[in-house]
Amino acid sequence: MAVRADKIFVNLPVKDLNNTIDFFTKIGFEFNAQFTDENATCMVISEHIFVMLLVEEFFKTFTKKEIVDATKSTEAIVALSAESREKVDEIVNKALAAGGTPSNEPMDHGFMYSWSFQDIDGHLWEIIYMDESAVNQN
């Protein structure tokens, strides 16, 4: 039997929680106050996708491994879908205006369009639009 889950919680370490909340608020994300304190916040991506943004010292309590400096190394790329090419551009432009930095130039593969940015802690975010009608539905 295949493993199935109905929600995903991505956990990311951050240096300054208030600055991180401000950054993602400027992009348009919302937060669940029930899971927010001085150590962490729960950023709501959708009804089934959440990003737990944890102050580095608190994040360290969940792992014995060293935290990667995301400004120098990459451990993961968080990829989110968007409803259109225009929405991809809108989200990335908001991220850049809020203090994020460019990661890659926009990539246009015809049926798929993406653009990426680094948040203020250096984590990589890829925003993707895919024309579902162009994808082979086998």
- Per-residue pLDDT reduced to its tens digit, 57-70: 999 999 999 999 99
In a domain, 2, yes or no: no
Q: Which residue range is the domain that position 82 belongs to?
A: 8-58+73-134
Residue ranges of the chain with pLDDT lower than 50?
Answer: none
* The residue to which tokens 């969940």 are assigned: 62
- Report the number of distinct structural domains present in the chain: 1
Look at residue 137 in the predicted model and tell me its pLDDT: 58
In a domain, 63, yes or no: no
Look at residue 91 in the predicted model and tell me its pLDDT: 97
How far apart, in whole angstroms, are the C-alpha atoms of residue 11 and residue 52? 5
In a domain, 45, yes or no: yes
Burial class (CB in 10 A: 0-12, 13-18, 19+), 30: exposed
